[in-house]
Amino acid sequence: MKIGILGTGHIGKTLVKKLSAAGHDVKVANSRGPDTIEPELLTSGARAVTTQEALEDVEVVVLSIPLNRIPDVAPLVARLPEETLVIDTSNYYPFRDDRIEAIEAGQVESLWVAEQLGRPVAKAWNAIGSDSLATKGKSAGSPGRIAIPIASDGERDREVAMALVEDTGLDAFYSGTLADSWRQQPGAPAYCTDLTREELGRALAAADRARLPKRRDLGLAVVQERLGDGGANPDADWGVRLARVINM
Ligand SMILES: NC(=O)c1ccc[n+]([C@@H]2O[C@H](COP(=O)([O-])OP(=O)(O)OC[C@H]3O[C@@H](n4cnc5c(N)ncnc54)[C@H](OP(=O)(O)O)[C@@H]3O)[C@@H](O)[C@H]2O)c1
């Protein structure tokens, strides 16, 4: 597929590498321009472009930027044809994203994103830590393959997003509509806990909406205490152990 990815951070850079290695035609942009994109990201054929170019003539757009930067790209996203699938990887962290009153009042994060963009999105790759995404992928059918949730309102969006998730070495698990996607938000049992397909269904069902913000903030407080100012990303196993203790 022709895919445009915005963001070359912890998650975006791995998606660029994996989706281009899987044979997709990938363009990628960050906020600073194509010259700042590391050549290492482009070794499987992905092309570094401007933000505007990344959204031209593509079938799928992946937004892997901080949630509070979504409104910045909304005017460009608004120009996409209706049939272009937009996949969002974002999560809300008030310390990073500033306080977003609608989400604080209980709006589901992906519905807030869809509202900013004025179009539906599929939510994927939000519930796996970047180290797990980069290092723990396996081929389909491998024992213990990690499953991640994909939320979407449209059937075709769901099929395409799930196929792309499989191409990144993970089992794709349909988690339901965007309205129900709070079950995969930070603090939920399914969030960054590296579960298998069998375990993930139970984890999504066990989510307790009222507890999510507190558990998200507890997890973040531990990360900040142990790893500094929050800019560092914990290694995969430490982060997964922590998420299991707090979220499950
Ligand atoms: N880190 C994780 O383990 C993890 C796991 C799952 C989901 N997520 C979510 O996925 C999203 C990305 O996370 P991350 O950790 O990869 O973030 P990150 O490391 O901070 O990287 C963010 C990227 O977004 C780019 N960006 C910001 N505004 C942009 C714009 N207007 N146009 C184009 N690019 C723009 C930045 O560009 P520059 O490089 O030029 O600054 C940067 O490359 C976040 O919402 C996060 O919550 C993160």
Ligand 1 contacts CB of residue 97 (under 6 A)? no
CA–centroid distance, 213 to ligand 1, in Å, is 21
| Token pair of 205 as six digits | 């069902």
Per-residue pLDDT of the chain (248 residues), as tens digits, is 999 999 999 999 999 999 999 999 999 999 999 999 999 999 999 999 999 999 999 999 999 999 999 999 999 999 999 999 999 999 999 999 999 999 999 999 999 999 999 999 999 999 999 999 999 999 999 999 999 999 999 999 999 999 999 999 999 999 999 999 999 999 999 999 999 999 999 999 999 999 999 999 999 999 888 887 656 666 668 999 999 999 99
DSSP state of 152: -
Q: Is the CB of 200 under 6 A from ligand 1?
A: no
Tell which one of 31, 86, 227, 235 to mutate to probe ligand 1, the residue whose CB is within 8 A of the most ligand atoms.
31
Residue 162 CB less than 6 A away from ligand 1: no
Strands in 25-29's sheet, in edge-to-edge order, are 47-48, 25-29, 2-6, 60-63, 85-88, 122-123, 147-151, 171-176
Its pTM stands at: 0.97
**Beta-ladder partners of 27:** 4, 47
The residue whose CA is least distant from atom 35 of ligand 1 is: 31
